[in-house]
Amino acid sequence: MLDALSSLGGGFAEVFTLYNVLLIFAAGLIGTVVGALPGLGPSAGIALMLPLTFGMTHISGLCLLTGVYMGTMYGGRITSILINTPGDAPAIITAMDGYPMMQQGKGGLALGISAVSSFIGGLFGLAVLVFFAPVVANYAIHLGAPEYFLLMAVGLSTIILLAGDNILKALIMACFGILIGTIGADYVSGQMRFIYTIELIEGIDFVAIIIGLYGLGEVFYNLEKSMVMKLGKPSLNLREYIPSRAALKESAAPTVRGSVLGTIIGIVPGAGATVATFLDYALEKRLSKTPEKFGKGAIAGLAGPEATNNASVPGSLIPLITLGIPGSGGTAIMLGALIMFGLQPGPLLMVNSGDIVWAMIAGLILANLFLLLSNVLMIPVFVNLLRAVQSNLASVVIALCVVGAFSLSYSTFNIWIALIFGVVGYLMRKNDYPTGPFILAVVLGPLAENYFRRAVMMGQGDAGIFLDRPISLSLITLMGLILVGTVLAKRVMNARRRRIESGTD
Amino acid sequence: MKWSELILLAGLVAFSGVLQKDSLALDYNSGGGFGPGFIPLNFAIVTILLAGVIGTQSFLRSKARDPEDNDAEPATWFASLAAPLGTIALLFVATFFMEFGSVLLPLAVVTTVVSTVFLKHGLAKAAGLTVVTLAVIYAIFSLWLNIPVI
């Protein structure tokens, strides 16, 4: 425990420069606005910010990305409460009690309570990340190629969790992602594969893909839907946003329960914040002495899921940092960013690049603190920013995407790539093809192929190498459990979600 | 079946078909293990098969749901998709012109047209927005990060 605190102290020492502190503050603000905009979520926020990290140190770049990621989790609740339009999927449940509070003239209180619960949830998740991640990493450092392959396979098996309603659609997207990952020089033999133009020697740039998929694709989709927000004029009276002692007392127990649940579910690859918030809402309603108030402005129904939502972010970073397993679209992009920075995600990340990882965690703690302050004190600023950006969102995002893609190699090649994937992303979004499995496969596919072929070579063509070692066998069992368990869990959660939405639970 | 889904699946089949054909030229096995052709060949085949299954499922489901809707779709499709299709077309043309040196100039035209035509802003507001957006982008990328965006 002392080692973890000492490492965290080292991380703070790295982060505490004026430049980094300002960057984290700005990242939180940008993330909050992006998260609040319907149609743009954590993945889009990180995708749009990735090009900005090119001129930065690894630590500054990662602080920017994680700050934006954390900020989007705070931002989603603003439009949920103000206009009953969730900024992202985990904020759907926030609208159920947040918007009724707004209608009762308690919008400021709802925003204040949700900000405090988000902060506590985030802080709890970060504490678990600080003390739990090194323990997992210590166990994970003695792995060979077969285990690495199986770890990647466990990551890829989470595709079933990101699948949405149609598993076949998720599978075809994963296959497409794996095929995209095969373009370029082969890791093992050095042979060139599918090099139709010289720029493809190192493969298709991951950042260009996500800029297209999440940036341009979302713009095209939103242009078709012509989404408009009517935000009204926010009050400038700060007292309205600071919760009273009684309100804080009422929200305390749900916040603690939400923090624990969110962290645990965040650690499970693929389960994600959305599932966690629905489960927490059901739990709070069941535990409440006044369940009839849920859906009509219950503080517990707002505070619990908000804490859950924000606790799941640090929770989801634990398998990412310690094992290299991303469990969501957002963490898959973070994984891609780590690779882009030249870091090797997986069990050795905390050994080889511990200083960077601890600085990133310190940055997250700072971001969480800044986000609490900004989300209580700066709500009118956010609402006005949202109003300004929303009506011009398409132009701003297009400009950022095009310049971002250009800056990858100072040529138009990556703009073409981003455009193509923008069209692909638009068609996927229109037809409910999930983007998570595709991104996961693009990131993990080449690594999995590399370790798989090396492992088979080690076993001289015998696939028994995957069954001989106890860790491999455990990972295969884990993969089986993920596949079977999540299919069953999904059915239960869908049934529960339907009951919550119909108001019978 | 939606036209947009048909285009997506046809595109996936075409892409996988090309990779499948070209992966035949790569080694399937090598040195007691698998060669560079192993993954692309197999996954291209699986992708094509999955596209076939999903396409068939989708076609049968849409036929069962409301056959008249499917027949009428192409006409309404283009009418409702003017904004995204127009923006995509504009971006393709603009990217072609970016090959001649400037990124920001063609981009300025795109954002102004998108603002005026698709977001229904007045020309003055659209031009002002474009100038402000591109000035901020120039300041961040070119002046702060030293990325040569002009």
Specify which of A79-83, A166-170, A206-210, A361-365 reaches the highest per-range mean pLDDT.
A361-365
User: Residue A39 has what pLDDT?
Assistant: 63
Residue B94, H or E segment:
helix B82-98
User: Residue A269 has what pLDDT?
Assistant: 63
- Selected residue of A149, A159, A176 to mutate for chain B interface (largest B Cβ count, 10 A): A176
Supply φ then ψ for residue A192, to 5 degrees: -85, 135
Interface touch A55/B147, C-beta < 8 Å: yes
Supply φ then ψ for residue A227, to 5 degrees: -75, 130
CA torsion through residues B106, B107, B110, B111, sign? negative
Would you say residue A216 has pLDDT above 70?
yes
Q: Which of A399, A406, A428 sits opposite B134 (nearest CB)?
A: A399
Interface touch A179/B43, C-beta < 8 Å: yes
Average pLDDT, stretch A168-179?
93
In A155-253, beta strands by DSSP E:
184-185, 192-193
User: Residue A426 has what pLDDT?
Assistant: 94
**Cα distance between residue B63 and residue B58, in whole Å:** 8
User: Residue B78 has what pLDDT?
Assistant: 65
- Selected residue of B141, B144, B149, B150 to mutate for chain A interface (largest A Cβ count, 10 A): B141
Q: Which of A220, A226, A456 sits opposite B88 (nearest CB)?
A: A220
User: Residue A83 has what pLDDT?
Assistant: 73
Interface touch A398/B40, C-beta < 8 Å: no
The complex's ipTM works out to 0.93
Interface touch A394/B87, C-beta < 8 Å: yes
User: Residue A234 has what pLDDT?
Assistant: 59
- Selected residue of A182, A191, A407, A438 to mutate for chain B interface (largest B Cβ count, 10 A): A182
- Selected residue of A149, A187, A431, A466 to mutate for chain B interface (largest B Cβ count, 10 A): A431
Q: Which of B22, B39, B110 sits opposite A178 (nearest CB)?
A: B39
How close is the nearest chain B Cα to the Cα of A259, in Å? 37
Tell me the chain B residues in contact with residue A226 when contact means C-beta distances shorter than 8 Å. 83
Interface touch A172/B51, C-beta < 8 Å: yes
b/e per residue A39-78 (b: at least 16 CB within 10 A): bbbbbbbbbbbbbbbbebbbbbbbbbbbbbbbbbbbbbbb
Confidence of residue A41 (pLDDT cuts 50, 70, 90): confident
- Count A/B contacts: CB-CB distance under 8 Å: 181
**Cα distance between residue A99 and residue A106, in whole Å:** 9
Cβ burial of A331 (10 Å; 0-12, 13-18, 19+) is buried
Interface touch B40/A194, C-beta < 8 Å: yes
**Cα distance between residue A457 and residue A445, in whole Å:** 18
Would you say residue A220 has pLDDT above 60?
yes
Tell me the chain B residues in contact with residue A407 when contact means C-beta distances shorter than 8 Å. 141, 145, 147, 149
How close is the nearest chain B Cα to the Cα of A23, in Å? 13
Residue type, position A493, single letter: M
Lowest pLDDT segment from A171-180, A190-199, A270-279, A444-453: A270-279
User: Residue A60 has what pLDDT?
Assistant: 92
Nearest CA in chain B to A414: B95
Nearest CA in chain A to B100: A412
Nearest CA in chain A to B128: A392
How close is the nearest chain A Cα to the Cα of B94, in Å? 10
Averaged pLDDT of chain A: 83
How close is the nearest chain A Cα to the Cα of B122, in Å? 12
Nearest CA in chain A to B18: A194
- Whether A446 contacts A224, CB under 8 Å: no
SS3 A192: strand
**Cα distance between residue A236 and residue A102, in whole Å:** 15
Average pLDDT, stretch A92-119?
86
**Cα distance between residue A406 and residue A401, in whole Å:** 8
- Whether B19 contacts A200, CB under 8 Å: no
**Cα distance between residue A499 and residue A497, in whole Å:** 5
**Cα distance between residue A494 and residue A381, in whole Å:** 37
Interface touch A219/B145, C-beta < 8 Å: no
Would you say residue A75 has pLDDT above 80?
yes
Would you say residue A504 has pLDDT above 60?
no
Would you say residue A428 has pLDDT above 90?
yes
How close is the nearest chain B Cα to the Cα of A8, in Å? 29
User: Residue B55 has what pLDDT?
Assistant: 95
Lowest pLDDT segment from A183-187, A418-422, B102-106: A183-187
pLDDT tens-digit profile of A123-142? 999 999 888 888 877 776 67
Q: Which of A191, A395, A403 sits opposite B36 (nearest CB)?
A: A191
How close is the nearest chain A Cα to the Cα of B146, in Å? 7
Q: Which of A51, A431, A453 sits opposite B33 (nearest CB)?
A: A453
- Whether A269 contacts A325, CB under 8 Å: yes
Q: Cβ of A454: how many Cβ atoms within 10 Å?
A: 18
- Selected residue of A49, A179, A218 to mutate for chain B interface (largest B Cβ count, 10 A): A179
Interface touch B95/A428, C-beta < 8 Å: no
- Whether A152 contacts A447, CB under 8 Å: yes
User: Residue A396 has what pLDDT?
Assistant: 86
pLDDT tens-digit profile of A300-358? 989 999 999 889 888 888 888 888 877 667 788 888 888 888 887 777 788 888 888 89
SS3 A457: helix
Tell me the chain A residues in contact with residue B107 when contact means C-beta distances shorter than 8 Å. 398-399, 402-403
Q: Cβ of A431: how many Cβ atoms within 10 Å?
A: 19
Interface touch A52/B80, C-beta < 8 Å: no
With a pLDDT cut of 90, the percent of chain A lying above it is 21
**Cα distance between residue A250 and residue A271, in whole Å:** 28
Average pLDDT, stretch A55-83?
86
Q: Which of A182, A403, A419 sits opposite B39 (nearest CB)?
A: A182
Specify which of A89-93, A296-300, A332-336, A420-424 reaches the highest per-range mean pLDDT.
A420-424
How close is the nearest chain B Cα to the Cα of A141, in Å? 26
pLDDT tens-digit profile of A368-413? 999 888 887 777 777 777 777 777 788 888 998 899 889 888 889 9
How close is the nearest chain A Cα to the Cα of B36, in Å? 6
* DSSP symbol at A194: S
Would you say residue A291 has pLDDT above 90?
no
Structure tokens at B143: 């002046």
Interface touch A191/B7, C-beta < 8 Å: no
- Whether A198 contacts A209, CB under 8 Å: no
Would you say residue A170 has pLDDT above 70?
yes
Full pLDDT tens readout for chain B, 150 residues: 788 999 999 999 999 999 999 999 999 988 778 899 999 999 999 999 999 999 999 999 887 865 555 545 556 666 678 889 999 999 999 999 999 989 999 999 999 999 999 888 899 999 998 999 899 889 888 887 778 888
What is each CA distance from B26 to A378, A444, B136, in whole angstroms? Answer: 58, 22, 48
**Cα distance between residue B38 and residue A310, in whole Å:** 42
pLDDT tens-digit profile of A229-279? 566 665 656 677 788 888 889 889 999 999 998 888 888 765 567 778 878
User: Residue A272 has what pLDDT?
Assistant: 66
Interface touch A431/B8, C-beta < 8 Å: yes
User: Residue A488 has what pLDDT?
Assistant: 76
Tell me the chain B residues in contact with residue A52 when contact means C-beta distances shorter than 8 Å. 140-141, 145
Would you say residue A505 has pLDDT above 70?
no
Residues 6+ apart with CB under 8 A from A111: A77, A78, A81, A82, A241, A375, A376, A379
**Cα distance between residue B52 and residue A136, in whole Å:** 42
